[in-house]
């Protein structure tokens, strides 16, 4: 509840401080859109919409703000600046927050968003963030094709079942 209250305050402040920019609120599937629509109907630059797939929305955005949401990981992987807003510095440590720049106050969030807008730069994961993602996304630091090629090459001419362990019968037929 404290995080939600902090986000509601932040959205109102962002709507005022970044009035030249559109703010899209994408509630989680279990959340009622009407809550946000009722709260932010007075702001012309705030839209509540959870239709469609999230990636096109993220790619068209200057930045993404979240807390412990997988859209944070998606934004980071797509190179969109991403901020994990932790109102009142609530200690929530999740992979989505680890791959994001953290803000704990509205002023930090506004500053970060202004930087993202001004720089119009891609978001690049740090080595620490890549390390946090590695247990969940094996090929975060290499192309999957490289690993597949290594497995196939190491199995050539050997009578072992290494390929059998890694590939389906239909894929082995293609190889």
Token output for 159: 């009578």
pTM recorded for the entire structure: 0.79
Helix, strand, coil shares, percent, the chain, to 5: 55, 10, 35
Residue whose C-alpha is closest to residue 113's, from 39, 42, 9, 11: 11
Q: What is the pLDDT of residue 45?
A: 97
H helix runs in 26-166, sequence order: 33-40, 54-59, 70-78, 95-98, 106-119, 127-133, 144-155, 162-166
Split the chain (175 residues) into runs of 10 and give each run's mean pLDDT.
Answer: 84 96 92 93 96 93 93 94 84 84 93 91 88 88 81 67 55 47
Assess contact for 85 and 7: CB atoms under 8 A: yes
Q: What is the pLDDT of residue 157?
A: 60
């Amino acid at each position: 509840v404290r995080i939600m209250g902090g986000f509601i305050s932040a959205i109102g402040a962002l709507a005022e401080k970044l009035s030249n920019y559109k703010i899209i609120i994408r509630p989680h599937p279990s959340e009622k859109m009407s809550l946000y629509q009722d709260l932010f109907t007075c702001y012309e630059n705030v839209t509540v919409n959870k239709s469609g797939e999230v990636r096109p929305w993220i790619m068209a955005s200057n930045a993404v703000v979240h807390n412990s949401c997988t859209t944070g990981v998606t934004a980071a992987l797509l190179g969109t600046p991403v901020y994990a807003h932790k109102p009142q510095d609530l200690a929530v440590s999740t992979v989505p927050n680890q791959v994001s720049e953290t803000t704990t106050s509205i002023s930090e969030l506004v500053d970060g968003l202004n930087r993202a807008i001004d720089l119009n730069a891609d978001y690049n994961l740090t080595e620490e963030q890549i390390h946090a993602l590695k247990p969940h996304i094996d090929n975060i630091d290499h192309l999957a094709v490289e690993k597949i090629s290594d497995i196939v090459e190491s199995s050539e001419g050997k009578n072992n079942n290494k390929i059998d362990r890694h590939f389906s019968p239909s894929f082995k037929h293609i190889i």
